[in-house]
A and B are shown apart, each in its own frame.
Chain A
Amino acid sequence: MIKSTGKASTIARTLMSRTGFSSSGIILIAILAVLPFIPPFNSEYILRWLVVGAFMAAQAVAFDLTAGFINVVNFGFAAILGVGAYTSAILANTGPHIIVQPGISPWIGIFIGAFASAFLGFILGFLTLRLRGLYAAIMAWFVGIALLGLARTLTPLTRGSLGMSPPSFFDTPSNMPYYYLALGMMITIYIVTKLVTTSHIGLAFKALGQNFDAARASGINPTFYRVFNFTLSCFFAGLLGGFYAHYFVSMTPKAIMHTSKSVETLAIAFIGGRGFLWGGIVVAFPFVFLLEYLRSALPQLPGIHIIIYGVLMILVMIYYPNGVAGFITELKKKLWRLRKPEKT
C-alpha cells in the first residue's frame, strides 16, 4: 500500500517536473484560481487587473521562449501579437465599417489569428537567421515597425488609427470568465513551453543562444531550431492577441502593436528572470497591480509606469541578471543546504 502510493507520488512528481510545476508552483496556481472569490479581489474593478496580470504573464512566458533561450530579443513581439489580434478581429467583423464581414466566431478566429502570427514568426525566424544577438533584435524591431505601419495604413481592413471594436468572447459584462480563460491560456502556454524546453529541443535552444559556433560544431542545425522557436513563440503571441481583441473589444494599432508594448513584456520577462519561464508569471501580477495603482493614484503622471520599468530593468540587469526567478532558485538551494545537515 505504502509502496504503491510512493510509486504514484514519484510518477506525479516526474510529471510535475516535466511540465515545470514544483509544489510551490501548484500552490501559486491554486491561489490564483481562488483569488477572484476573495475580497478585495472579487470586485469587477480589481478583477480586471487580474485579467491583465494573467495576460501579461502569458506574454512574458511566450517572450522568454525566444529571449531567454535562443538569446534573441524579439522587439517585434507586440506587433506580431497585434497581427493575431487584427486577424481575429477582422474575421469576426459583421459591421459596415470594414469592407469584409466574415462574421466568424472569435473562438475560431483566435486560432486562425494565432496561425497567421506563427507564419509571420516563421518568416521572422528566417530573416534573423544570419544575424546574431543585437542585430537580430533590431531586425525583429524593424519588422514590428513595418507591421504597425501596415495596420495603420490598411484602413479598409483595420480602420487605421480610428481603431476597431471586435465582438467579445462572452455575453456577460463580468470579468470572471475572462479571468479563467486568461489563466487557462497562461498555464497552457507555460506547460507547452516547459515541455519543449526540458526536452533536447530546449537544450539546442540554449546551446545556440549561449554559443552559436560551438552549437553548430556540436551538430545543431541553427535554421531548424531558430525558426521553430520563433514560430512557436509567435503562435502564442497571436493567440494572446486574439484574447486581447475579444476581451478589451477596442483596439488601435498603437495600443497593441507599438514597440513600447514589446518593451513592457520584455521588462516583465527580464525582471522575472531570463530562461526561467515562470519568472514572468511571478512578477506580472504584483507589477500590474502596482502600475494600475500608480496610474489611478497619480493621474497627472501618465508615463510613470515606463520610468518604473526602466529603473527596475537597470537594477536587475546590473545587480541580479537572473532576475526574481534566479533569486528564488538560489534561495531554495541555500535553504536545502541548511536543511540537509540536520537530516544526516
Chain B
Amino acid sequence: MLPISCFLPIWTSLNHALKCKGIRMVILQVIDMVKKFGGLTAVDKVSLQVEEGQIFGVIGPNGAGKTTLLNCITGAHKPTSGIVNFLGEENLAGSPPEVMCKKGISRTFQISRPFPRLTVLENVTVGAAFGAQSHARESAEERALEALEYVHFPLPEDTMAGHLNAVQLKRLDLARALAGGPKLLLLDELAAGLTEGELADIMKLIKRIRERGITIVIVEHIMKLIRGVCDTIAVLDYGKKISEGKPEEVMRDPKVIEAYLGE
C-alpha cells in the first residue's frame, strides 16, 4: 500500500482545478456500509458522500445506528461489509482508528473520553503529537495551546481533566481532535446538554472550523443546530438511510416525519 503522502500532490492539484470550476471534491465516500452485532443489524447498507468543505449532518431517532456508523468510519468498529474511501484513498474500511486518525479523520465522542489524570494541555498535546500533522514543524505543545484558544477553552490549561464538567469535557474533546490537524472532523453529539447560549457559541465555533478548511460530519439530536449549520443531512432509522438532502427538504419528507413521530 502506498503512503498517503504519495496521493497528496495529485489530490491537491486535482482539487484546485475542480475548485476553479466550482465543483467540489468528494472527501469521504461510504458505500453500502453494513454493521451487524450478532443478530442485530445496526447499520444496514448505508451510503454517504461528503464533499470537501461541507458540514454534513446525520440525524435519526435513538438507536438508529448513527454512532455505529461513525465508529465504522473511524475504525473503532470493524464494519461487517462496506467500503470507505477517504481523500482519494480507496477501501479504508476496517483500518484501525490510529491509522484513520493519521490519515486525517479526527473525532469526538458521544460521552467525552478525556485522559483524566493528565492536565488539559497534556490532553490536547496528545492529539497534536500523534495526530495527522504530528510531523508539523511547530511543537505539539504550541499547536495544543493554539487549539485550546481556538475553541475558547474557559479554564487554565494546567487544570486536571478529571476535574472538568461535561460541557468543558466536550470542548476538551473537540480541542484534542482539532489539534491533530484533521481534514475531516466527526462530531458525535457535541451539543448534548448545552444551554441556549452555549449552543449558539458551539454553532459559531463549528462554522469557524469549516472556514479553516476542515470538513465536518455531525451526529446530533438538536434540530436547531442541524438546521443552523448543516448543508446536507442524512436521516437514519433502524440502521437504514431513509432520506438525504438539504435540511428544509428533509424535514418535510413524510418518511422522516413518520420515523420521528410514528404513524
- Residues of chain A touching chain B, judged by Cβ–Cβ distance below 8 Å, are 200, 203-204, 206-207, 210-211, 213-222, 275
Decide if A213 touches B131 in the complex (CB within 8 Å).
no
Query: How far is B114's CA from A219's CA once the two chains are assembled, in angstroms?
Result: 14
Residues of B within 8 A of A222 (CB): 98
Picked from B113, B131, B140, the residue with its CB within 8 Å of the CB of A214 is B113
B195 → chain A, closest Cβ, in Å?
A: 26
Given known A200-B129, A203-B125, A204-B130, contact A218–B117 (CB-CB < 8 A): no
Decide if B130 touches A210 in the complex (CB within 8 Å).
no
Query: How far is B101's CA from A40's CA once the two chains are assembled, in angstroms?
Result: 59
Residues of B within 8 A of A211 (CB): 113-116
Kindly count the residue-residue contacts between A and B in the assembled complex, taking CB atoms under 8 Å apart.
Answer: 76
The reply on B57 being an interface residue by CB < 8 A is: no
Decide if B130 touches A220 in the complex (CB within 8 Å).
yes
Query: How far is B124's CA from A207's CA once the two chains are assembled, in angstroms?
Result: 11
Residues of A within 8 A of B127 (CB): 218-219
Decide if A219 touches B131 in the complex (CB within 8 Å).
yes
Residues from 112 to 149 in B contacting A, C-beta threshold 8 Å: 113-118, 122, 125-127, 129-132, 134, 140
Query: How far is B122's CA from A275's CA once the two chains are assembled, in angstroms?
Result: 15
The reply on B153 being an interface residue by CB < 8 A is: no
Q: A203-B122, A206-B115 are in contact. List 13 more A-B contacts (CB 8 A).
A: A200-B140, A203-B125, A206-B122, A211-B113, A213-B76, A215-B126, A216-B97, A217-B74, A217-B76, A219-B130, A220-B98, A221-B98, A222-B98
Best-surrounded residue of A207, A215, A216, A217 (most CB of chain B within 10 A): A217
Residues of B within 8 A of A206 (CB): 115, 117-118, 122
Decide if A210 touches B115 in the complex (CB within 8 Å).
yes
Query: How far is B101's CA from A221's CA once the two chains are assembled, in angstroms?
Result: 10
Best-surrounded residue of A219, A220, A222, A275 (most CB of chain B within 10 A): A219
Q: List 13 A-B pairs, Cβ < 8 Å.
A: A203-B126, A204-B126, A206-B115, A206-B117, A207-B118, A210-B116, A211-B116, A213-B109, A216-B76, A217-B97, A218-B101, A219-B101, A220-B98
Decide if A214 touches B96 in the complex (CB within 8 Å).
no
The reply on B180 being an interface residue by CB < 8 A is: yes
Query: How far is B122's CA from A214's CA once the two chains are assembled, in angstroms?
Result: 13
Best-surrounded residue of B102, B113, B122 (most CB of chain A within 10 A): B113
Best-surrounded residue of A216, A221, A275 (most CB of chain B within 10 A): A216
Residue of B nearest to A212 (CB): B113
Residue of A nearest to B162 (CB): A210
Residues of B within 8 A of A216 (CB): 76, 96-98, 101
Decide if A210 touches B118 in the complex (CB within 8 Å).
yes
Given known A203-B126, A206-B115, A211-B113, contact A218–B96 (CB-CB < 8 A): no
The reply on B176 being an interface residue by CB < 8 A is: yes
Residues of A within 8 A of B118 (CB): 203, 206-207, 210
Decide if A217 touches B115 in the complex (CB within 8 Å).
no
Decide if B96 touches A219 in the complex (CB within 8 Å).
no
Decide if A218 touches B126 in the complex (CB within 8 Å).
yes
Decide if B76 touches A218 in the complex (CB within 8 Å).
no
Residue of B nearest to A321 (CB): B117
The reply on B78 being an interface residue by CB < 8 A is: no
Residues of B within 8 A of A207 (CB): 115, 118, 126
B194 → chain A, closest Cβ, in Å?
A: 21
Query: How far is B132's CA from A214's CA once the two chains are assembled, in angstroms?
Result: 15
Decide if A219 touches B134 in the complex (CB within 8 Å).
yes
Residues of A within 8 A of B180 (CB): 218-219
Query: How far is B114's CA from A217's CA once the two chains are assembled, in angstroms?
Result: 12
Query: How far is B118's CA from A206's CA once the two chains are assembled, in angstroms?
Result: 8
Query: How far is B106's CA from A83's CA once the two chains are assembled, in angstroms?
Result: 43
Given known A206-B118, A222-B98, contact A214–B109 (CB-CB < 8 A): yes
Residues of A within 8 A of B98 (CB): 216-222
Decide if A275 touches B96 in the complex (CB within 8 Å).
no
Residues of A within 8 A of B113 (CB): 211, 213-214, 217
Query: How far is B123's CA from A207's CA once the two chains are assembled, in angstroms?
Result: 8
Residues of A within 8 A of B115 (CB): 206-207, 210-211, 214-215
